[in-house]
Every structure is written in C-alpha cells, then in structure tokens.
Amino acid sequence: MRTIFVLLTLSALCSPVLTAERLDAWLRSRIEARVLTALNSNHATRQREGASVDSRSTSLVDQSSATDFVNMAMTLSPVASGGAGSGGVGQSGTGMVTASAYSLLAAINGKSLTDPEFYKQHTAARQLSFTLGSTASDVMKDNTDKAGTTFGFKFTPINHRDIYGKRNATALTGLRDVLRQTAVETELKSEVSNVLFCLQNAGIVGVDAAALREFCATPREAARSALLDAWGLNPSTLSQKAALQRAQLAFRDDVPDNLPAATLAQIDGLIEANLPALTRVRAAINDTYDQIKQGMQLAIATNYINRPDAGTNDLRASLIFDYGLSPRVNWTMNGSFDHRDRKMALDTKGGRFATEFLGRLTGYEDALWGRQPITLAFAGEGKWLTRQKPQYSVQAKLTIPISAGLDFPIVYRWAKRIDLVDKEGKELKMGLSVDLGSLSQLLKGR
Amino acid sequence: MAITRTVTVDNPGALLIERASGEFLHFTLIAGGPLPIFAFNSSVKGNLFEAADFIGHPKTTYEWEHLKNPSDMQSLERLDLHLVFVTNAKYQYKVEKRAATGAVLATILDISFVGDPTDHEAESFRLMVS
C-alpha cells in the first residue's frame, strides 16, 4: 500500500505539466472574463501641442488642461501648404515650452513628480501652467519675417478630473469601501487552491488516503486548518500533519494548463457563487475611472505673441470647456477674444469660436510612462474680426506616439478664407510634441 | 488591461512560520503615486486594512507586520494584497520573514507591478504554521 502511495505521489509530482500559471493571475482572468465590461480610457485629452493663437500650431482648438509637468511642442513644417495656417513653406520654426506650476514647485523642492504626498498637497499648482515659445512670422500677414515671442498662461478653476477634487474624493472613498469586498476573492482563492492542491496531490507519502480525502473534501479553509490542528494533537497522526504540510509547501499555487474539464467546471461554480461581490469590485473601479476621465473642465487661458519692429502682436484670451462624452471621446469648446495689434495699420479685434471632438483609437501601453494612445481629432473654427470677412477653418488631426513622451501630430487643415486673403487655403502640416516629464521618468526608470 | 509584473524574488506560493520562535512577517509596499489604493486581506479574518487606514496616507511607503501575535497564526491562512491602479500606476511589494528580534531571516517575495488605470491585481501566498 505504501509503495502505491509513493508511486502516486511521484506520479503527481512528475506529471507532465508543460506550462503553469500563477493562481492569482489565472483566477483573476477567469473572474474578469465573467465580470468585465470592456472599458478603458485615456489621458490623451491633455494638450501637448502649441497654443492655437499661433496659426502654425497643430492645435486648432485649445484643451482646458495642459500637462501636469513640462511639455515642449514644435511645428516641424507644413509639408504641403496652400496657406490655411498662413505658415507658408519654409515658415515653420514654431516651438513652445509649457510647464505647470506644479512641475516647477517639484523641481524647486527636489521632489518626484508623482510623489503621493507632494501631489496631494499641491493640487492647485497643477491647475496653472505657463507657456513660453517662439513663433515664426510672415511678412504679408505679420508685417515682419522675424520670429515673435509667445507668452501664455492657463488656469483651470473647474477641474473634475483631478483625483483630489471633492467630487472625485467621494468616488474614491466609495471605491475603497468596495475594495474591502476583495476579501471574498481571497476566500475564493483558498478554495480554488485547495481544489488544485488535491488534484495534483492524489496521494501523499505519510498521509492516510482516507484522511487526505477528508481533508480535500472539507469545504472551508478554517475547517481544514482545524483538521490539521487535530492531527497535530494526536501522536498517531502527528507525522501525517507534517507530511501534508510538506506537500503544501511544495505546492506553489501554480495552475497547469491541462486542467480536466470537471475541475474547471468546479472552479467556475465557485466563481459563479461569488460573482455579485466580484462584480461590484470591477464595476466600482470602472465607474470611478469613468467619472474621473469624463469630468468637466473649464479653463481660462491667455496667449500673447510679441513681434519685433513693426510686426503685428497677437493676443488671445480664451474660455475653454472640456467634457468626456465617453471613455474614448472628448469634446472641447473654445470661445475667445482675439486682438491683432497692427503697429502700422488699424487693429483688428473680435471673437472666435472653435470646437473639437477627440477620439482615442488605441489603448495605453503597460508601462507607467509608456506611449500615449493614437488619437484622431476633428475640429472646426470660426473667427469674426473687425475689418475682415469671417474666417472658417476645419481640420483633422492624427496624433501618432513615437515613443513615451514623444508624439507626432499630422494635421490637414482647410480654411474657407485665409487671414487677409479672400481665397480658400489648405495645408498639411506635421509637428512634434515632447513631454519632458514622461521622458525624464522613462529615462530614470532605465 | 495588462499588468507588467517584474519579479526580483518570486512568490513561493506557501511559507513556513515557526510559531514557537516568534517568527513574523514584515510587509513593505512602495507606491509610485499619486494616490495608492490597495487592500490587504486574510482568508481567516477577511479584510485587515486598506491604504486609507494608514497614518499619513497617501504616502510613498506603507509598512506593516503580521503574526506578531501568535494567536493570529493559523495554518493554510492566505494573505492577499489587492492593488488598484486607477490613481497609482506602479507598486513594489516586498515581504520579509523576520525573527522575534526583528532580524530579517529571508525575503519571501519582492515584486513590482505596473498597470493601466482600470487594472486590478492581487498577490497572495499561504502560511503553514509549525
């Protein structure tokens, strides 16, 4: 009889399990398959390009939130120009750096950008960002060919996407409460682990077959533990307890990929029995994420381009509104006052309205500082300025992430009437956006 | 929806603790920020605590001990850490077995996790008490 047990044990230990998966991961995917409602969203709605006041920027519409950290944007070149952005071939050279007050504070204090305590303490500093850059000029439009200097700031007084906002604090508290229900999953894991242990240990040297069957058939972990304790208190079964403990220690909670159908059905039954609690956890995570990402944002922004000599200066003061229509689609509206200070002629001033729908085409990478998703945006703009006919523009923009912190926007813009020129214009342009925060974190991690 | 799990010391699945000599476990969780959300569960006692139960939350490093009280010990107990990534994308989880004096006897596991915002991950192991 003992020989049979030895053979059974050896057979179990040497069974041809070619691949195995950790119980934690295997069970999670099996649970998720039952409770997951596909959901993912993005951080891709933060503006990472130059401000729209510069007509050479790849942004037609400004987003309400800038980077949390430091961002650099360049318009590389209009690859095919009919003058829609009035940038003209060879008139690229626009470059802007945007930094949040938070990133400056972090640098001054020598703190990591994601330090939890620092991040919580400086919520307000993330709502304020500053822009400094250089803007190319065009003689016909700007009365100079010398580059102008761009200054700007953006303040986001309403930000329902910040995790420390009151609205999101309530949602996160709710998530924490629901997270306590993961204890159900812990118990479930114990039961599944027992099923797998008993499957892979049909016989254990030193453990009576009937006792092992009783152990395996005992449904609750506390009861199994009590059974072990009872074995330990009885001198005749003391060695049996030690043998079972050795087998338990040798069992690594691995799940072989060749589980019998009956075992899978047994495990699925255990999952189904706990599905309501398991679903609440997943739903709470998804709902919290949706609430944060689809939150409303309202920003006030001002950008000023100062051109040398007799060049025209530009001022744009904007009200920017963002709203997440769905986890994948963000809607932005801009209303602004534009003023062109023509030093050698009468000024023009007036209003501007623009709107954009930005959709995320891909998901996020696994890495924390991984590439942004590919996004596609459609935007339209109308400008009504004194001494000029109304101008209308539409554009499509595809933003392709090259690497973490490095994006490559490609824009096609069509204008019904170009600034000062009463004709249509169209332009294909490319840009480059560098998120210095992401890049530095990525390099730090290597 | 994929977690990157980087192993420095792999999870053994099960661990032997000597009750008589006063061995206990020391846990460290380092969060990448900005707002860690996690729960620590026992299959015996249910949910033991979560991130907000720690003084100074949110913070970079969370530390706690388990089995300091010998009456807590129960064979087959499963200790399970649940991590949520919605506001914190990176965690490092380390467990040490320590002697009654506090001296480190062994690093049981040391694993880093990076996840997407809607990810949810758990890492667990069983205790055997001798």
Q: Does B53 touch chain A (CB under 8 A)?
A: no
When scoring B17, B41, B72 by the number of chain A Cβ atoms within 10 A, the one with the most, hence best to mutate, is: B41
Per-residue pLDDT tens for A370-396?
567 889 999 999 999 998 888 899 999
What is the ipTM score, two decimals?
0.92
Average pLDDT estimate for B30-51: 91
Give the mean pLDDT of A171-195.
90
A245 touches chain B (CB under 8 A): yes
Q: Supply the pLDDT for residue A283.
A: 84
Tokens representing residue B114 in the block? 């990076």
Assign B61 a pLDDT band (cuts: 50, 70, 90): very high
Asked if A139 has any chain B CB less than 8 Å from its own CB, the reply is: no
B58-63: average pLDDT:
94
Q: Which of A59-73, B33-47, B59-73, B81-95 has the lowest mean pLDDT?
A: A59-73
- pLDDT at residue A190 greater than cutoff 70: yes
Q: For position A43, what pLDDT does the model report?
A: 40
Chain B residues with CB-CB distance to A116 below 8 A:
31, 33-36, 58-60, 88
Q: Is B114 on the interface with A (CB under 8 A)?
A: yes
User: pLDDT tens digit string along A331-348?
Assistant: 999 999 999 999 888 999
CATH number at residue B8: 2.60.40
What pLDDT does residue A205 have? 85
pLDDT at A3 over 60: no
Q: Which of A175, A427, A224, A29 is nearest to B126 (CA)?
A: A224
> Which domain covers residue B37, as residue numbers?
4-129
* Secondary structure (3-state) at A77: strand
- For residues A224 and A377, give the distance between their C-alpha atoms in angstroms, rounded to a whole number: 59
Question: What tokens does B47 get?
Answer: 């949910």
The pLDDT score that the predictor gives to residue A202 is 85
Query: From the list B11, B76, B86, which residue is nearest A288 (CB)?
Result: B86
Whether A228 shows a pLDDT value over 70: the answer reads: yes
pLDDT at A86 over 70: no
Whether residue B26 has pLDDT greater than 90: yes
Residue-level pLDDT at A435? 73
**Domain tally, chain B:** 1
Q: Mean pLDDT over residues A304-326, rounded?
A: 92
DSSP string computed for A129-179: EEEEEEE---HHHHS--SPEEEEEEEEEEEETTSTTSHHHHHHHHHHHHHH
Share of chain A above pLDDT 70, in %: 77
- In this prediction, residue B29 carries a pLDDT of 97
CA B110/CA A285 separation, integer angstroms: 26
Residues β-bridged to residue B46: B42
User: Do the bridges between strand B14-17 and strand B120-129 make them parallel or antiparallel, or are there none, so unpaired?
Assistant: parallel
pLDDT of residue A76 exceeding 60, the answer is: no
- Lowest model confidence (mean pLDDT) among A73-77, A98-102, B32-36: A73-77
Give the pLDDT band (50/70/90) at residue A166.
confident
Please give the residue of chain B at the shortest CA–CA distance from A248.
B14
pLDDT of residue A403: 77
pLDDT, one tens digit per residue, over A30-73 is 887 776 533 333 344 455 555 666 565 667 677 766 555 566 66
Task: Judge: A119–B117 Cβ closer than 8 Å, yes or no.
Answer: no
pLDDT tier at A4, thresholds 50, 70, 90: very low
Share of chain A above pLDDT 90, in %: 30
**Per the confidence metrics, is the pTM higher than 0.95?**
no
**In A180-299, where does DSSP find H-type helix?**
183-200, 209-217, 221-233, 238-250, 261-273, 275-293
Closest by CA to A283, choosing from B123, B12, B118, B105, is B118
Mean pLDDT of B106-119: 91
Which chain A residue has its CA at the smallest distance from B44's CA? A222
A277-299 pLDDT tens trace = 888 888 888 888 888 888 889 99
E strand or H helix that includes residue A397:
strand A391-403
A161 — pLDDT class (breaks 50, 70, 90):
confident
